[in-house]
């Protein structure tokens, strides 16, 4: 491990500890769940390339969701950053642009979460503009 990687890991651990104290929750468990989801869906392609899903859904129980969003943190962005660093360390390639969507779910028991991943195809800016244009008919 290089000195820069060790420093990054140390800073990340300190930030997680601070976040846990401020929110009363340990975010490491949720970050680890995202990492496990990513690792368990990795596919080795030709020439040693490892592809992983790029769209992650995190469902939180209502109290946890409200607690995290009340503080004004961009939880989805924090989780996206953590997952991106994990993939970079492992040498993974995303199947498209990485997104982590966090939402409230009444189906998740109090204080828990659910994590799922899919491959969401990339839509180019040109394709997006075409899809937004009205169809003549």
Provide CB contacts within 8 A for 30, sequence distance 6+. 58, 79, 113, 115
pLDDT per residue over 28-47, tens digit each? 788 899 999 999 999 998 88
In sequence order, what DSSP letters do the residues of 18-38 get, joined into one string? HHHHHHSS-HHHHHHHHHHHH
Are 70 and 22 in contact by the 8 Å Cβ rule? The answer is: no
Please say if the pLDDT value at position 21 is more than 60.
no
129: confidence class by pLDDT, cuts 50, 70, 90: low
113: confidence class by pLDDT, cuts 50, 70, 90: confident
pLDDT per residue over 41-81, tens digit each? 999 988 889 999 999 999 988 888 887 777 666 788 888 99
* Residue 22 confidence (pLDDT): 44
Question: pTM of the full predicted structure?
Answer: 0.68
What CA–CA distance (Å, rounded) separates 131 from 123? 10
Region 109-113: mean pLDDT is 77
Report DSSP state, residue 72: T
Helix residue spans in 24-135 (DSSP H): 27-40, 62-70, 75-90, 125-132
């Amino acid at each position: 491990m290089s000195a820069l990687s060790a420093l990054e890991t140390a800073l990340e651990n300190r930030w997680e500890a601070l976040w846990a104290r401020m929110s009363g929750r340990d975010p490491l468990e949720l970050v680890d769940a995202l990492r496990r989801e990513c690792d368990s869906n990795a596919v080795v392609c030709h020439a040693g390339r490892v592809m992983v899903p790029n769209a992650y859904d995190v469902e939180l129980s209502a109290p946890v969701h409200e607690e995290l969003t009340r503080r004004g943190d961009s939880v989805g962005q924090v989780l996206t950053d953590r997952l991106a660093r994990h993939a970079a360390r492992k040498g993974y390639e995303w199947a498209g642009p990485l997104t982590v969507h966090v939402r409230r779910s009444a189906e998740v028991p109090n204080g828990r979460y659910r994590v799922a991943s899919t491959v969401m195809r990339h839509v180019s800016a040109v394709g997006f503009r075409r899809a937004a244009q009205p169809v003549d008919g």
